[in-house]
Amino acid sequence: MDIQEVVSDRVGSRGDAAAPPLALEVEHLSFSYSERRALDDVTFAVKAGEIFGFLGPNGGGKTTLFRILSTLAASASGTARVFGHDLAGNTMAVRRRLGVVFQHPSLDQKLTVAENLAHHGRLFGITGTRLHERSRLMLERLSLTDRANDVVETLSGGLKRRVELAKAMLHEPELLILDEPSTGLDPAARREFHSALAELRAANRVTIVLTTHDMEEAGQCDRIAILHRGRMVAIGAPGELKARVGGDVIVIRAAAPETFSRKLAERFSVSGTIVDGTVRVEHPRGHALVAEMVDALGGEIDSVTFGKPTLEDVFIHLTGDRFFAGAPDSAS
Amino acid sequence: MSIVPVQAATLWWREITRFRRQRSVIIGSLVQPLIFWVLIGWGFRASFKPSGMPAGIDYVQYFYPGVIMLVLLFTAIFATIQTVEDRQAGFLQGVLVAPISRATVILGQALGGTTLALAQGLIFLALAPLAGIALSLSAIVTTAMMMALIAFALTSIGLTIAWRIESTRGFHLIMNSILVPIWFLSGAFFPANGAPSWLAWVMRINPLTYQMAALRKGLYLAYPAAAIGALPPFSLSIPVSIGFAIVAFAVASRVASRTSAV
């Protein structure tokens, strides 16, 4: 450890001892690609030990945010601090504390699992017995021990993702960031990956920040922030956010959604919004409304779905946009 | 603390390990120069006598060190194409989030390319008797040192291009339209002192000319000066070669530091 780092470590641990340290503090972060503003004045903080998710459709700004946090995108305006270390000013100190799992594979396909881990460890200055010990432990935690000598290109997608996780955790990062970690995994591999992540978190006390467009994955986070067109539109625990939607959510598929919406307003004085060709109503007593509605307007209804609000409903409620809007998603 | 930090050493190790698992690349970067040498060397032997070529040396012999240089060049190109592929495959992003400077990354990559080129060059050096060149131990050692120096510079140039270029196709294009002509005008193919004066001037400012001279002198260490022809002396060619290698490395490091990433 060099002197500069010792000094910055002290500076980093400022503040009163009682408050739990912040793993990540982001203030007024903005980023533009030549013309398009990809991230617009985003401010949030993640407490140590949290699992924090960024939920948003593709193009919402998640990947840009991830690139900035991973220290790979320069020239963002605003500040970001990882455990008190400024991302732009003290990049090396941040990198030592950061584990990164990219959306695209970062493993050498021609090397074995063990060789990939060893290479990664040495890049972080870890050698000898400690490297051996850390590799062994990570392989064990992620149930990869019997795969240690397999060449990566021969592994399945789910296994490769677990190796990525083992690699990212090898140097004992305090903050683990993951970009769309479950994209491209089948449901079984996704479940395995999530349980591996939960185990790692319990064993290593690591803070986890991930981006996702998967509602289920977002629902498993302690807190989430919703990104829409580069802006953060909400932040909170999934349950809290769902509670912001007024009661139940009813979605009616009708041949003429506009007419149907007008009739709803006239007869029941509820306002529906039209999202993606369906009429969407939020109502505190949804079940009663559904019954009355089917009685009165049954002939015009193709189908009705009714339920407690999901995170997708939260997104629609907040933005008036459907979640999977726009161009078909090529990344997933 | 060793001379080369472990972070660079592991990048070096990875290049070597990968290369060893790709037999076709090993063979490819040897076979092409070999074909050049056989076809051009023996083909031109009888008819092609460039003026300024030392007496008592035939074209197969004259061309031989030039072909060694070509082996170094091709291996350096192959090795640095790896960087373009690493970025496309996503491997590079994992390296770039490690707490190391870009100069360290370049050092590891350059040493990897240098080692591979040196190994290929040494394999080719074993063919010297076929060219009728008798090698002494001191000639082998001197030649090997020159080869390492040249390979480091060429790999650094390759890396400079590789960090800036998007595709492997673009990389091939640039290498073929810049590096191969520079090799052509290094005295590898014909001596400078027989060339028209404008061409001789181009060759005189070409850093590869000095690398070529150092390599040729090393190889013919046991031979009398007359057998080598008029070449810059070691006292000029070695400092220029070292200086060129340092500048090439510095440029590659700077380019890598300024490239925002993936």
Cβ contact (<8 Å) for A72 and B14?
Answer: no
Chain B residue with the nearest C-alpha to that of A93: B99
Q: How far apart are CA B13 and CA A131, in angstroms?
A: 16
Contact A52, A221 (CB under 8 A): yes
Per DSSP, the three-state class of B97 is coil
**B91: nearest CA partner in chain A:** A106
| Residues in chain B closer than 8 A to A92 (CB atoms) | 99
- Using a CB-CB cut-off of 8 Å, the residues of chain B touching A115 are 14, 17
Q: Which residue has the higher pLDDT, A316 or B146?
A: B146
* Token representation of residue A88: 């732009």
Mean pLDDT of A57-81: 87
Query: Higher pLDDT residue, A287 or A98?
Result: A98
pLDDT of A324 reads 60
DSSP A62: H
pLDDT one-digit tens code per residue, A130-141: 999 999 999 998
Q: Where are the beta strands (DSSP E) in chain A?
A: 22-32, 37-47, 51-55, 77-82, 85-86, 98-101, 175-179, 207-212, 223-228, 231-236, 248-254, 273-275, 278-283, 301-307
Q: What angle do CA A240, A246, A249 make, to 5 degrees?
A: 105
Q: What is the pLDDT of residue B153?
A: 96
Whether domain A246-308 has CATH 3.40.50.11540: the reply is: no
Instruction: Give the pLDDT mean for B237-245.
Output: 95
pLDDT by residue (tens digit) across A169-188? 999 999 999 999 888 888 88
Q: Are A30 and A40 in contact (CB under 8 A)?
A: yes
Average pLDDT, integer, range B96-104: 94
Q: Please answer whether residues B112 and B15 qualify as being in contact, where contact means their C-beta atoms are separated by less than 8 angstroms.
A: yes
pLDDT above 70 as % of chain B: 92
Instruction: Report pLDDT for B222.
Output: 73
User: A residues 154-193 near B, CB within 8 Å?
Assistant: 167
Residue B216 lies in a domain: yes
- Residue identified by tokens 């290369």 is B19
Nearest chain A CA: its distance from B137 CA (Å): 37
Q: B103 with B8: CB under 8 angstroms?
A: no
What is the average per-residue pLDDT within B193-208? Answer: 87
Interface of A with B in 105-124 (CB under 8 A): 105-111, 115, 118-120, 122-124
- Which of A96-110, A144-158, B45-59, B103-117 is the least confident region? B45-59
- Cβ distance B94 to A120 less than 8 Å, yes or no, reads yes
End-to-end C-alpha distance for chain B, whole angstroms:
31
What residue spans in chain A does CATH classification 3.40.50.300 cover?
19-241
Q: What is the pLDDT of residue A4?
A: 44
Q: What are phi and psi of A45, to 5 degrees?
A: -140, 145
Mean pLDDT, residues A43-50: 93
> Are B142 and B41 contacting, i.e. CB atoms less than 8 angstroms apart?
no
Mean pLDDT of A306-329: 72
Split at pLDDT 50, 70, 90, the class of B77 is confident
* pLDDT tens, residue by residue, A206-243: 999 999 988 888 888 999 999 988 899 999 999 888 88
Confidence label for A301 from pLDDT (cuts 50, 70 and 90): confident
Q: Residue B1: inside a domain, yes or no?
A: no
Q: Long-range contacts for B24-30 (Cβ within 8 Å, ≥24 apart)?
A: B25/B78, B26/B120, B28/B78, B29/B71, B29/B74, B29/B75, B29/B78, B29/B120, B30/B71, B30/B120, B30/B123, B30/B124
Considering the domain boundaries, does residue B127 fall inside one? yes
Q: Which residues contact B34 (CB under 8 A, 6 or more apart)?
A: B67, B124, B127
Q: For residue A70, which residues of chain B lie inside 8 Å, CB to CB?
A: 93, 97
A102 and chain B: CB distance < 8 Å anywhere? yes
The DSSP letter of residue A151 is B
Q: Report the pLDDT averaged over residues A239-264.
A: 86
Q: What is the predicted pLDDT for the residue at A130?
A: 96
Cβ atoms of residues A60 and A323 within 8 Å: no
A48 touches chain B (CB under 8 A): no
Shortest Cα distance from B260 to chain A (angstroms)?
6
Domain residues for the domain of B91 are 6-258
CA distance to A32, B150, B159, B180, B191, per residue, from B25 (Å): 41, 20, 18, 19, 31
Name the residue among A73, A111, A119 with its Cβ closest to that of B260: A73
Q: Distance (Å, rounded) from C-alpha A74 to C-alpha A87?
A: 10
Choose among B116, B113, B98: nearest CA to B5: B98
Q: What residues contact residue A244 under an 8 Å CB cut-off, 6+ apart? A: A234, A314, A317, A318
The answer to whether the CB of A283 falls within 8 A of the CB of A248 is yes
Angle at B257 between CA A107 and CA A181, to 5 degrees: 30
Asked if the C-beta of A26 comes within 8 angstroms of chain B's C-beta atoms, the answer is no
At A295 the three-state DSSP class reads helix
How far B251 CA lies from chain A's nearest CA (Å)? Answer: 21
**pTM: predicted TM-score of the whole model, two decimal places:** 0.85
pLDDT, residue A308, reads 84
User: Do A104 and B93 make contact, defined as CB atoms within 8 angstroms?
Assistant: yes
Query: Where residue B176 falls among pLDDT bands split at 50, 70, 90?
Result: confident
Q: Does A71 touch chain B (CB under 8 A)?
A: yes
Which position has the higher pLDDT, B163 or B36?
Answer: B163
**Domain A19-241, CATH class in plain words:** alpha beta
- Within a domain: residue B208? yes
DSSP state of B53: P
**Strand arrangement, sheet containing A278-283:** A273-275, A278-283, A248-254, A301-307
CATH 3.30.70.790 residue ranges of chain A are: 246-308
Residue B195 CB contacts under 8 Å (≥ 6 apart), including other chains: B52, B203
ipTM above 0.95, yes or no: no
Distance, in Å, from the CA atom of B32 to the CA atom of A248, rounded to the nearest integer, reads 72
Whether residue B251 has pLDDT greater than 60:
yes
Considering only A68-77, A280-289, A323-332, B123-132, which range has the smallest mean pLDDT? A323-332
Q: Per-residue pLDDT for A5 more than 70? A: no
Q: A294 in contact with B at a CB cutoff of 8 Å?
A: no
What does the angle CA A66 – CA A154 – CA B115 come to, to the nearest 5 degrees? 80
Reduced to 3 states, what is the DSSP secondary structure of residue B102?
helix
Which residues from B are below 8 Å from A120, CB to CB?
94, 98
Higher pLDDT, A264 or B238: B238
Q: Looking at the complex, does the CB of residue A43 fall below 8 Å from at least one CB of chain B?
A: no
Mean pLDDT across chain A: 85
Interface contact A106-B98, CB threshold 8 A: no
Give contacts of B100 with chain A, Cβ < 8 Å: 123
pLDDT tens-digit series, residues A24-41: 999 999 998 877 888 899
Contact B90 A119 (CB under 8 A): no
Query: Chain B residue closest to A115 (CA)?
Result: B14
Q: Between chains, do B91 and A106 touch, taking CB under 8 Å as contact?
A: yes
Q: Which residues of chain A lie closer than 8 angstroms to B13, CB-CB?
A: 119
Record: contact A104-B90, CB cut-off 8 A:
yes
Distances (CA, A) of B197 to B55, B159, B203: 21, 33, 10
Q: Report the number of distinct structural domains present in chain B.
A: 1
